[in-house]
Amino acid sequence: MAASPQPYSGYAFPITATPCTSSKIPPKPKPVNVFSNDGSFLERFQRSRKEEEDKRKAEEALARKRQFDERFRKRGKRQQPDTSSIVTQGKPTKKVKFDGAPL
């Protein structure tokens, strides 16, 4: 019995991977690693965190300014009643004045 070049995998026809030498596509170049073992990753990470923090602080400051402007604009004024939460019951809101004598 002849020795098989590949171990038995349990399948009737084993799939063998053969390198495709007839294609003219060159292999993709490896991406350049922008980080080195000198702490540059930590610096970039800290810089990105600082930028996010600055952006968040600027958004909060803008929100506080808008809230202050809105409060300043509404000072001393009554709040408008919320018309969506008022439910009309069909009853008159004022008491009806009765001018006649009781029977």
What whole-number distance in Å separates Cα of residue 52 and Cα of residue 58?
10
Task: Give pTM, 2 decimals.
Answer: 0.37
* Tens digit of each residue's pLDDT (9 = 90 or more) over 13-55: 556 655 555 567 888 888 887 666 777 788 889 999 999 999 9
H or E segment and range at residue 41: helix 40-74
Rounded CA-CA distance 47/40 in Å is 10
Per-residue pLDDT tens digits for 49-64: 999 999 999 999 999 9
Biggest CA–CA distance in the chain, Å, is 126
Residues 95-101, mean pLDDT to the nearest whole number: 69
Length of the chain: 103
Label residues 75-86 b or e (16+ Cβ within 10 Å = b). eeeeeeeeeeee
